[in-house]
Structure 1
Amino acid sequence: MTDVNKEQVFAQVKDALVELFEIDAADIVPEAHLYQDLDLDSIDAVDLVVHLQNVTGKKIKPAEFSTVRTVEDVVDAVAELLKEA
């Protein structure tokens, strides 16, 4: 298994945020907080998890996403999942 490219994961997460929630791409930076900066709510977070599961083909446990606060946290969580392949 090759090393997971975090830039590619970030691009996928960014695309998902733009596509699903119509967030301005310029606002999506690694340190952006999902709830405060990007105005997501818990339902949006579930939608994001479902979308990422579909994109990655991996099952994401809600507990793995319970500590996610920033875009970078999402990227790290997805990258970890992909490493487990």
Structure 2
Amino acid sequence: MNKEEVIEIVNNFLVEEFEVEQEVISPKAPMKDTLGLDSLDYVDLVVIIESNFGVKLGEADFVNVESFQDFYDMIENKIKAKA
């Protein structure tokens, strides 16, 4: 799976599952502020990532995630590590 596929899948489930406007999702946008997720939303986000990409995530994986680009990179790195 390449970076463009990861971005497309992530953006699609953010729009569908979290009702985020597609226009506010950009690589440099601050993910936490843009999405306005609470702790339960993060649990849902982890479940969706795990089901879409087959990777396991923990709290430590989100420590350095500030922007959407960081989020995409983290998922892509998890996929590569699994392969």
* TM-score, normalization by structure 2: 0.85
* Greater helix share, structure number: 2
Residue segments in structure 1 that go unaligned for 5+ positions in a row: none
Q: How many residues align?
A: 82
Computed over aligned residues only, the root mean square deviation of the Cα atoms, in angstroms, reads 1.4
* 1:13 Cα offset (Å): 1.0
Residue segments in structure 2 that go unaligned for 5+ positions in a row: none
* 1:83 Cα offset (Å): 0.7
Runs of at least 4 residues of structure 1 off by over 4 A? none
Residue 22 (structure 2) pairs with residue 25 (structure 1): yes
Overall identity of the aligned pairs, in % = 39
* TM-score, normalization by structure 1: 0.83
Residues 11-49 of structure 1 show CA distances to partners (whole Å, capped at 9, x for unaligned) of 111011111110011111111112222322333223212
Q: Which has the higher contact order (CA 8 A, sep 6+)?
A: 1
